[in-house]
Structure 1
C-alpha cells in the first residue's frame, strides 16, 4: 500500500538532490518512492500555475514568463530521475508506474496549456513584444512559449480543447505501450552460441555474451541479446554473416512479432490520432505540425534536403550490389 504520509519536497531525495556534485543520491531512492512524490510535485506545480494565472498585477516578463519557466522544479527533478530509471533500469513496478504516470502528466500539461487566464497573460506579453525591448534570448523564449500554448490548443473552443486533451492523453498512453512492447521483445529474445561461433569477436564482447547466457541459465555458452551493448558490437565484429542476419532480423522486428507485444494496432492508432490532432490545430499533416517551429519549417523543405541524398544513396547501393556480384 502506498504511504499516505505527506511528502516533503524540500527534503525528499527525489527532489532535493544531495549526491555528489549536486546530483541525485540513487542509493536513497526506491521504486516505491516515485508515486507519492509525483502526486505531491504535480500539486505543487498546479499551485504555482494558479498563482501565476491569478496574479492581479499586469503581466510582466518576471511575474509571468520567468515564473512559468522557473516553476515546476520538483516535478522536473522527479520526472528526470523516473524516466532515466524507466529507460535504463526498468522492471515491472517501474513499467506499471509508467503506464499510470504518462497519462497523468499529459492531463497536467494539457490543463496548463489550456488555462485561459494563464494564456491571456502570455498573449498580452506576446502582443506587446516589440515594445518590451527584450533581449534576443528572452524574445525567443516568449515566442516559443506563446506558440507552444497555441499548438497545445490554447485558442481552441471548449469542445476542441476537450478533444485535444483526450487525444494527447491517449497518445501518451500509446507511446508508453509502444516502448514497453519493444522492450519486452528485446528482453525475451536471445541467440545462444558456442565457442566455434565467435569468430572475430573481441574479448569484451565475449565476456558480455557469456554473462548474458549465464543469467539465462546457459552457463558455459554465449548469448546474443538485443541489448545495444551486445547487439551492436556483435554486429560490428562477428565474422558470421548468417548469425549477424539472424540478430539483425530479430532487432528490426521488435514489436512486430504478433501476440501481446505487437505494435501494429498501436502504430495505427497513433497515426490516426496524430492526423486528427494536426487537423484540429489547423495543420495539413502531423509532419507540418511538428516542423512548424523548427529550422526546416515545412515537409517540403525537408524533402528538398533529403531527397537528393536519398537518390545518391540508392545509386551507391546499386553500384555496391553490382560490385559484389
Structure 2
C-alpha cells in the first residue's frame, strides 16, 4: 500500500519509503490529467465555477505529494531522493506545460475571461480569473506550435539545471572540513563554540576540533578566530563553493540557466527574464528596480565608505593590518562593535536559549493575534529534531499545524526558510486549515550547554516565523491565492516586520532570560542592542544592494554572449565593492536564491519589503507595539488575505497611505 496515494491529512513520514515517490507521482499526474480532461470535455458553457474554480481545485493530491517530496529534498535529503528529484522534475515541468499549453482548456478559460465584466465576481474571484488567464498567456498559450515545443524543452532543462545547481552547492558545503588539532588555532573562539567544534569532530571519530561551512560553524570562526591564515582558508572555501572547475562546478549551470531564462522570456514576447518576472510584481519593471536600488545606493554609499574607513583604521591600529580583506571583515567588525558598544554576542547568547526564544515568538503571536501554541507528540515527523505544534485562536478554534526544525544536518541545505505541507482553502463550506513549517540551522545543544542563539539567529527565527504566520493565518477560498501566494516583493513584509519586535524592551522582557539564573535581560543590554542596530548599516545595505544588482545583471539584460561568470559578476559589483576582489571566489556559483530558489529578478524585494516593514512598524510604534487594533488591521488586511488583492491596495487599507522610503532610511540611520 502506497501511503502517499491513500488520503492523508498530516504527512505520513514514517510510512514513506523512497520507493513510494515515483509511483505516487505517476498516479497523481494521471489522476490530475483526468480532472483536467473532465473540465475540457464538459459540454456546458464555460463558467467561473465549472472552469476557473474547477481548475484551482484540480491536482490537489499531486500538490500534496510534491510538497512532501520537495520539502524532504531540502530538509532531509539523500542520494536516492536527489536522484528521484532529477527524474521527476522534468516530468512535473512537462505536466505543468501540458496544462498551460492545453488549447481546449485555454479556450474555456479565455471564454470566461472575456465576459468577466458581466459575471458579478467577488474581488478574490476576479483575482483568480486574472491569475489563471495570465498563467496561460504568460506561459505560452498564445504561441505557435513550434514555439510551444521549444518552451517545453526549455522548462524541462531548467528544472534539471536548477536541481543540479542546488545539489552541487550542498555537496560542496558538506565536502569541506577544516580539522584542527592544535588548540592555539582556536584562539579567540568562545568556549561554547570550541565545545561545539570538538563535539562535531567527535561525531566524525576525529580528535581535536572540526570547522565546516555550515553557518553555525562558519560564522563564529570568521567572527572570533585570531588566526588570520585560517580565517582566509575558511573564507576562500566558503566563497569558492561550486567554482573550482571540477565535477561540482556551477559556472556552466549559471550560464545555461541565465541564457535559457532569457530565451524563454523572448519566446513569450518579453525583452528579458526580468521584464517577464516583474510584470507580476509591485515593482513592475526592471527600470523601477534599478532606480530603487540606485536611489538607496546613493544614500548608503557615503555611509558605507565612512564605516569601512573606520574599520580599516581600527584594524591597522589594533593589529597593523595594511589591507583589509574579506576574511577580516567579520572579525574586526565584531571587535569594533565590542569597543564602541561594549556588546558582544557572547554576552547576549545566555539570554537567548532556543526554547525560550521559541516560547517568546509564540508569546508575541499571542499578544498580537490571540494565538495559542500547544506542542503535540502524536504527529508524524521526518526527523527526531522536528517539533510539532497545534495552533489555536483566542476562541480555541484550530488554526494550523506547525512544524519547527532548527538544527543543521548533512541532509539539510543551509539557510532558513518557511514552507507548507498543506495549503489553506475553503471548499464545500469547510475551511481547510494549513500545515506550515519553519526550517533553520542553529547551533545544536552540546553536553554542557543548551542551544544558545546569537542575536542574528534570534532575528532569523522571528523572520521565518513571520512567514509562518502569513501561512497559518491564511483565510481565503482558493489555495492558489492563500498564505504566502502573493507578489514576491510583498512576501517579505510579514517576515521582516516581525524582526522589529526583537529590538523592543517590551517584547524582549517576555523571553530574554538568562538560561542559568533566569535573570531578565538587563535594560542596558537592550539599550545597546538598539544603539548597535544601525552599526555598519551603510555597509550592510551596500551588501544587500550588491546582491540585488548581481541578480539584475544576470536577468535584466541579454546574457547570450556571456562566457565568463566571474567577469560578469565583477562588473555587477563595480560600485558596491569595498574589499579587494579575490580571484578564487565567486558568489554566483552558490547564489541559490536566484539560481535554485524563486528569487530570480526578485532579490531586490528584501530591500523593497524593508521599506514596507519600516513604514508598517512605524505605525505600531505610534500606537504601541502590542496595540490590538493595529495588529488586527495587519492580520485582516495583510496576513489573512494572501494574494486575493493587489498588495498595494491591501497595504494602504492597513496603513492608510503608501509606504515612504524615508521610514527605512530613518531607521537605518542613513538620513
Scaled by the length of structure 1, what TM-score is found?
A: 0.89
Check whether the contact 1:113–1:149 (CA below 8 A) recurs between aligned residues.
Answer: yes
Q: Among residues 171, 193, 201, which one is paired with 1:213 in the alignment?
A: 201
Match of 1:3 in 2: none
CA distance in 2, matches of 1:72, 1:49: 8
Check whether the contact 1:61–1:125 (CA below 8 A) recurs between aligned residues.
Answer: yes
What is the count of residue pairs matched by the alignment? 310
Q: Among residues 286, 299, 310, which one is paired with 2:297 in the alignment?
A: 310
Cα deviation, residue 208, structure 1? 4.1
The one of the two structures with greater contact order (alpha-carbon pairs below 8 A, sep at least 6) is: 2
CA distance in 2, matches of 1:110, 1:283: 19
SS at the partner of 1:23? coil
CA distance in 1, matches of 2:300, 2:264: 34
Q: Deviations over 1:229-266 (max 9, x none)?
A: 43345445556555444333322321112111101111
Match of 2:115 in 1: 128
Cα deviation, residue 228, structure 1? 3.1
Cα deviation, residue 138, structure 1? 1.1
CA distance in 1, matches of 2:106, 2:31: 20
The alignment status of 1:27 with 2:18, answered yes or no, reads no
Check whether the contact 1:14–1:81 (CA below 8 A) recurs between aligned residues.
Answer: no
Q: Which runs of 5+ in 2 are unaligned?
A: 314-671
Segment drifting more, 222-231 vs 76-85: 222-231
Cα deviation, residue 212, structure 1? 3.0
Match of 2:249 in 1: 262
Distance 1:113 1:215, change over 3 A: same
Query: 1:271-290 alignment to 2 at 5 Å?
Result: 271-290=258-277
CA distance in 2, matches of 1:238, 1:58: 71
CA distance in 2, matches of 1:237, 1:72: 51
Q: Among residues 282, 285, 289, which one is paired with 1:295 in the alignment?
A: 282
Distance 1:317 1:133, change over 3 A: same
Distance 1:16 1:239, change over 3 A: farther
Q: Among residues 126, 141, 149, which one is paired with 1:139 in the alignment?
A: 126
Match of 1:173 in 2: 160
Q: Deviations over 1:133-185 (max 9, x none)?
A: 11111111111111111111000010110111111111111111111111111
Cα deviation, residue 312, structure 1? 3.1
Segment drifting more, 241-250 vs 168-177: 241-250
The alignment status of 1:16 with 2:7, answered yes or no, reads yes
Distance 1:314 1:235, change over 3 A: same
Check whether the contact 1:201–1:238 (CA below 8 A) recurs between aligned residues.
Answer: no
Q: Among residues 70, 89, 93, which one is paired with 1:106 in the alignment?
A: 93
Distance 1:60 1:178, change over 3 A: same
Check whether the contact 1:291–1:299 (CA below 8 A) recurs between aligned residues.
Answer: yes
SS at the partner of 1:192? strand
The alignment status of 1:246 with 2:233, answered yes or no, reads yes
Check whether the contact 1:14–1:77 (CA below 8 A) recurs between aligned residues.
Answer: no
SS at the partner of 1:260? coil
SS at the partner of 2:241? coil
Q: Deviations over 1:53-103 (max 9, x none)?
A: 221111112111111111111111111111111111111101111110111
Q: Which runs of 5+ in 1 are unaligned?
A: 1-6
CA distance in 1, matches of 2:198, 2:121: 60
Distance 1:275 1:15, change over 3 A: farther
SS at the partner of 1:223? strand
RMSD of the TM alignment (CA)? 2.0
CA distance in 2, matches of 1:209, 1:168: 43
SS at the partner of 1:259? coil
Query: 1:50-69 alignment to 2 at 5 Å?
Result: 50-69=37-56
Cα deviation, residue 15, structure 1? 5.7
CA distance in 1, matches of 2:180, 2:30: 52
CA distance in 2, matches of 1:302, 1:271: 18
Distance 1:93 1:307, change over 3 A: same
Match of 2:568 in 1: none
Distance 1:79 1:239, change over 3 A: farther
Match of 1:201 in 2: 190
SS at the partner of 1:321? helix
Match of 2:530 in 1: none
Report which of the two has the higher share of helix: 1
SS at the partner of 1:261? coil
Cα deviation, residue 33, structure 1? 1.4
CA distance in 2, matches of 1:67, 1:308: 45
Check whether the contact 2:86–2:160 (CA below 8 A) recurs between aligned residues.
Answer: yes
Check whether the contact 2:110–2:133 (CA below 8 A) recurs between aligned residues.
Answer: yes
Check whether the contact 2:4–2:24 (CA below 8 A) recurs between aligned residues.
Answer: no
CA distance in 2, matches of 1:35, 1:322: 57
